[in-house]
C-alpha cells in the first residue's frame, strides 16, 4: 500500500495555522476575561445602597434610604453617628470629586495630573486657601470641630472599606493613586474654594489700572463702572505691567451668581410663603451639589451641600426654608507694594521697611521633579503678581481678601440647620462671613426675610475700591467692616415679596459702600415683573418662573438696534434676519431663529467695540463687561458720542458692520436658510466630567451628546455659554422650590444627577430634566426607596 505524505511545507503551514488560531483564541479569551474583570471591578465600586454594612466608628445602627432620585435620607440616633454616616455616604457617591476638590483648592493637582497643573497649583498655593482654612479651624467651637472630626471619620471609614474590599473608584486607578485620609482642614479648604469661586473684584481693579496705564484718561474712564471726578488716578505708567503680572491667574466664571426669591403668604394660593432658589455655578459631572436629608434628635434638615462638607448649606428643615445668591461686594483689595532694592523680602510701610513672611510651598509633580516654590505675604496678604514670574522687580501687588482671614461658615451652617425662626436663623448668620451672600428666608409661621450677609469692608465712598491702592500708606487700610446690624435687611415687606439676582441690593441712601459692579439687572427685573402684580401664586408658578426664558436685555436693545441700523445696504439675508427680530417675542426659545441672530449680533458688536484693544488675559479681568457695554449703547442711543463707539465709525456704522459679520458667521455655520436657524443648534448644554478630556473616556464619563437648550446668561433660566462653541457649561446648578404650608416636601433639580459613578442609575438621569424643567419631589416624611442599614463594626 502506498503512503501519501503531505509536503513538508504544507505540514508546517498547517501547524502554524493551528498555533495562530490557538494564540488568537487565547488572546480573545484573555480580552474577554479582562473585560469581565474590569466590568466586575467597576460594578464593585458602585455605592452599596441596600442590605447591611459594618462601618467602623458607629455607636448605633444608622438607616440610609435612597429615594427614587438617589437622594440619601440618613436617620441616626445621635449626632455623632449622623455626621459620621454623612461622611461615609458622601464618599460612597462622590469620593473622587471630593479628592479632586481638595487638591484643586490646596494647589496639589500636579501630584496626580503632572506638570500641566503646575501653574494652577502655584496660583492656589499663592492665594493660600488651605492656610486660611487652617487659621479658621482654630477659631471654631469644640462642638463644630467635633462634628468635622466625625464627618472625616466617616469618609475615612469608607476609604478603608473600599481598600479592604478592592472597590476603590476606577478614577483613582486612572489617575494612578489613592486618596489620602480626610481631615477637617480638607472640608474647610473646599469651603474657602467656594469663596474664591463666588467672588471678589481684584480682577476689575487690575483691569481699571491697566486702562489708565494704556489709554487716554477720558477713554479709559468710559469703561469704569463709576468714577468720581476727585478720585485717585493711576500712579505712573512705569510701575507695574498688569498684563504680564497676572497672565497665569485663575479667574472665576464671570457669571457666577444666582436667583432667589420669597413670596409672602398674602400673595400665595396656600396662604403660606413660597421660596425659590437656583444658584448659578459651573455645570459638570458630578454636580457641584450633593442633595441629602439628615435626621437625628437635633437635626431634621434637607437640601444640598458641597461634596466634602458636613451639614446642609441650602434647603429647609421642618420649620424654615432658605436660599442664597451672591451679593458680590468689594471684599478684595489689591495693594501696590514697594520692595526694598537691597533686601528682596522687605516692603515699605509708613517710611520703614517691613519683613514679609516667606512660606515654602514645594509642589510635587507626578512623573516629575518636585518644584521648589515660595509664597511671600506682606501685612496685606500674599504677593499674587510674583507667581507669574515677576519676582525681583521693584514693585509687586498683594491681595487683601476677607476669605483669607479666619472665618466660621460651617459653624453658621450647623446653627441655621437647627433654626426654627428668623431670630435664630439671623443669629446663626453672624458666623457666616465669606463669601457674602443674599439670604432669603421663609418660615412655616409666615415670616419672610432677607439679609445681605457677610464680612464687607468699609470704604468711604467706594472709589478706593476701583483701583489698587498704595500699600505703603496707612490711610489706605480698610476701615473695619460693616457692623452686622447695619447689613441690608428686610423683614415682611409691604410689597409681599423679596427677590435678588446679583443685582444692586441697596438704594443710594444706604450709608455704606457695597460694590461698584452689580450684575446686569435683567433677571431681577423679570422676576419682579412676574411677582409684583400677581396673587394666588403656587409652587408650580415658581418652577415656571425659574425656567422663564424672556430676555429683557433684548427687549431693551433690539428696538434701539433696529432704529439706528442703516437699511440701504442690507443684503437679502440681513433683511431676513432683521425681519426675524421684528417679529420676535424676546424669548430665548430653543427652536427660535431670532435668539440666535440677536445673541450673535450683540456678540460681534461687543467684539468690534473693543477690537484688539485687549488681550484674552485682560478681557478675562474685565468683570462687568456686559454692564459697561450696555451703558455705552444707551449713551449712543441718546445721541452722545462715546469714544469707544466713535472709534469704530460711530453707532450706526458699528451696528451695520456687526450685523453683517453676525449673519455671515451664522450662514457659514448653519446654512443659507435664515428661517431654518435654531438657537438650540448652537446653544447646547453639556455636563463634562474632569476625566472626559482623555479621549476614549469621554463616552463613558460624559455620556450623550450636548442637549439643545433655551435661555441665556441674562434670562431667569440662566444658561451662560461659550461664544465660540455655544456650549453651556454654566447655569442653575440646583433648582429648589418649597411651599411653607407643606414644608416636609420640596421640589428639586440637581443636574445632571446625584451619583458620581457612571454606572449608577442616578448618574445622568436629570440631564433632560434640567433642560425641560422636570422637578423631583423630595420628602422628609414617609420616605420610600432602597434601604441600607449601617451597623457598628
Annotated catalytic residue 247:
no
Q: Which of 136, 167, 258, 407 is catalytic?
A: 258
Closest of 210, 203, 252 to residue 234, by C-alpha: 210
Q: How does DSSP classify residue 363?
A: B
- 438 - beta bridge partners? 325, 452
CA distance 768 to 365: 39
CA distance 326 to 437: 5
User: Residues 446, 320: contact at Cβ < 8 Å?
Assistant: no
Closest of 337, 333, 291 to residue 313, by C-alpha: 291
Tell me whether residue 764 is exposed, middle or buried, using C-beta atoms within 10 angstroms of its C-beta: 0 to 12, 13 to 18, 19 or more. Answer: buried
Radius of gyration from C-alpha coordinates of the chain: 29
Beta-carbon contacts of residue 715 (< 8 Å; ≥ 6 apart): 522, 523, 526, 548, 549, 550, 551, 588
Burial 100-119 (b: 16+ CB within 10 A, else e): bbbbbbbbbbbbbbeeebbe
Pure H helices in 128-272: 129-137, 142-164, 170-175, 184-197, 202-214, 217-221, 242-245
User: Residues 52, 63: contact at Cβ < 8 Å?
Assistant: no
**Residue with the three cell numbers 455620556:** 703
Q: Any known ligand binding at 330?
A: yes
3-state secondary structure of 307: coil
Run of H or E including 354: strand 352-355
Phi, then psi, of 363 in degrees rounded to 5:
-110, 115
CA distance 245 to 791: 55
3-state secondary structure of 559: helix
Cis peptide bond prior to 531, omega within 30° of 0 = no
Between the alpha carbon of residue 642 and those of residues 122, 226, 314, 633, the distances in Å are: 40, 15, 44, 9
Closest of 656, 517, 500, 503 to residue 577, by C-alpha: 656
For residue 557, give the C-alpha cell. 436693545
Annotated active-site positions, please? 258
Binding site: residue ranges? 330
Binding site for Ca(2+): residue ranges? 330
Amino acid at each position: 500500500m502506498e503512503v501519501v505524505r503531505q509536503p513538508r511545507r504544507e505540514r508546517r503551514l498547517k501547524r502554524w495555522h493551528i498555533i495562530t488560531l490557538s494564540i488568537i483564541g487565547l488572546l480573545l479569551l484573555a480580552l474577554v476575561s479582562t473585560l469581565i474583570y474590569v466590568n466586575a471591578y467597576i460594578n464593585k465600586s458602585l455605592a452599596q445602597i441596600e442590605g447591611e454594612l459594618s462601618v467602623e466608628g458607629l455607636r448605633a445602627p444608622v438607616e440610609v434610604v435612597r429615594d427614587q432620585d438617589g437622594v440619601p435620607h440618613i436617620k441616626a440616633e445621635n449626632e455623632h453617628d449622623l455626621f459620621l454616616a454623612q461622611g461615609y455616604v458622601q464618599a460612597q457617591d462622590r469620593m473622587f470629586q471630593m479628592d479632586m476638590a481638595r487638591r484643586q483648592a490646596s494647589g496639589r493637582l500636579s501630584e496626580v495630573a503632572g506638570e500641566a497643573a503646575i501653574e494652577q497649583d502655584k496660583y492656589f498655593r499663592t492665594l493660600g486657601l488651605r492656610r486660611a482654612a487652617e487659621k479658621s479651624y482654630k477659631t471654631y467651637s469644640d462642638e463644630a470641630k467635633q462634628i468635622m472630626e466625625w464627618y472625616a471619620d466617616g469618609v475615612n471609614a469608607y476609604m478603608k472599606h473600599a481598600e479592604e474590599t478592592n472597590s476603590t473608584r476606577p478614577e483613582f486607578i486612572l489617575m494612578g493613586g489613592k486618596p489620602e485620609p480626610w481631615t477637617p482642614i480638607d472640608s474647610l479648604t473646599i469651603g474657602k474654594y467656594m469663596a474664591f469661586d463666588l467672588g471678589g473684584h481684584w480682577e476689575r481693579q487690575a483691569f481699571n489700572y491697566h486702562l489708565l496705564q494704556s489709554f487716554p484718561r477720558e477713554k479709559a474712564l468710559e469703561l469704569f463702572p463709576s468714577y468720581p471726578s476727585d478720585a485717585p488716578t493711576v500712579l505712573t505708567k512705569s510701575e507695574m505691567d498688569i498684563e504680564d503680572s497676572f497672565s497665569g491667574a485663575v479667574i472665576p466664571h464671570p457669571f457666577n451668581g444666582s436667583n432667589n426669591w420669597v413670596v409672602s403668604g398674602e400673595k400665595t394660593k396656600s396662604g403660606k410663603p413660597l421660596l425659590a432658589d437656583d444658584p448659578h455655578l459651573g455645570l459638570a459631572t458630578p454636580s457641584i451639589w450633593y442633595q441629602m436629608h439628615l435626621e437625628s434628635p437635633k437635626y431634621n434638615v434637607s437640601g444640598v451641600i458641597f461634596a466634602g462638607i458636613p451639614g446642609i448649606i441650602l434647603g429647609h428643615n421642618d420649620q424654615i426654608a432658605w436660599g442664597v445668591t451672591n451679593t458680590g461686594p468689594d471684599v478684595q483689595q489689591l495693594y501696590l507694594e514697594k520692595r526694598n532694592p537691597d533686601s528682596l523680602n522687605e516692603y515699605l510701610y509708613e517710611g520703614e521697611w517691613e519683613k514679609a513672611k516667606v512660606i515654602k510651598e514645594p509642589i510635587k509633580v507626578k512623573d516629575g521633579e518636585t518644584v521648589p516654590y515660595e509664597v511671600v505675604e506682606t501685612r496685606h496678604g500674599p504677593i499674587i503678581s510674583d507667581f507669574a514670574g515677576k519676582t525681583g522687580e521693584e514693585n509687586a501687588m498683594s491681595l487683601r481678601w476677607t476669605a483669607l482671614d479666619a472665618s466660621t461658615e460651617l459653624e453658621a451652617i450647623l446653627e441655621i440647620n437647627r433654626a426654627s425662626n428668623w431670630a435664630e436663623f439671623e443669629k446663626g448668620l453672624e458666623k457666616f462671613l465669606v463669601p457674602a451672600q443674599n439670604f432669603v428666608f421663609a418660615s412655616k409661621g409666615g415670616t419672610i426675610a432677607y439679609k445681605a450677609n457677610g464680612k464687607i469692608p468699609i470704604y468711604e465712598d467706594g472709589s478706593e475700591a476701583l483701583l489698587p491702592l498704595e500699600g505703603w500708606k496707612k490711610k489706605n487700610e480698610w476701615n473695619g467692616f460693616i457692623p452686622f446690624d447695619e447689613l441690608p435687611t428686610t423683614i415682611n415687606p409691604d410689597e409681599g415679596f423679596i427677590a435678588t439676582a446679583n443685582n444692586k441690593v441697596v438704594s443710594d441712601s444706604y450709608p455704606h459702600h457695597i460694590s461698584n459692579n452689580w450684575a446686569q439687572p435683567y433677571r431681577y427685573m423679570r422676576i419682579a415683573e412676574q411677582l409684583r402684580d400677581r396673587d394666588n401664586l403656587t409652587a408650580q408658578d415658581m418652577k415656571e418662573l425659574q425656567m422663564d426664558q424672556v430676555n429683557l436685555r433684548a427687549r431693551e436693545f433690539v428696538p434701539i438696534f433696529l432704529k439706528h441700523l442703516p437699511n440701504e445696504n442690507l443684503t437679502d439675508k440681513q433683511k431676513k434676519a432683521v425681519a426675524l427680530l421684528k417679529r420676535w417675542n424676546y424669548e430665548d426659545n430653543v427652536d427660535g431663529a431670532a435668539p440666535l441672530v440677536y445673541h450673535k449680533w450683540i456678540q460681534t458688536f461687543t467684539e468690534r467695540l473693543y477690537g484688539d484693544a485687549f488681550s484674552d488675559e485682560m478681557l478675562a479681568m474685565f468683570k462687568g463687561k456686559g454692564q459697561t457695554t450696555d451703558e455705552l449703547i444707551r449713551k449712543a442711543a441718546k445721541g452722545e458720542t462715546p469714544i469707544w463707539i466713535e472709534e469704530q465709525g460711530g453707532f450706526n456704522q458699528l451696528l451695520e458692520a456687526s450685523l453683517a459679520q453676525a449673519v455671515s458667521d451664522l450662514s457659514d455655520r448653519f446654512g443659507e436658510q435664515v428661517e431654518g436657524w435654531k438657537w438650540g443648534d448652537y446653544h447646547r448644554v453639556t455636563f463634562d466630567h474632569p476625566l472626559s478630556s482623555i479621549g476614549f473616556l469621554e463616552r463613558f464619563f460624559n455620556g450623550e451628546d450636548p442637549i439643545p437648550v433655551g435661555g441665556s446668561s441674562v434670562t431667569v433660566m440662566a444658561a451662560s455659554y461659550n461664544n465660540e462653541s455655544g456650549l453651556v457649561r454654566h447655569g442653575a446648578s440646583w433648582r429648589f422650590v418649597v411651599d411653607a404650608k407643606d414644608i416636609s416636601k420640596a421640589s428639586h433639580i440637581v443636574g445632571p444627577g446625584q451619583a458620581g459613578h457612571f454606572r449608577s442609575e442616578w448618574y445622568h438621569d436629570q440631564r433632560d430634566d434640567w433642560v425641560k424643567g422636570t422637578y423631583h419631589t423630595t420628602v422628609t416624611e414617609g420616605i420610600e426607596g432602597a434601604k441600607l442599614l449601617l451597623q457598628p463594626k
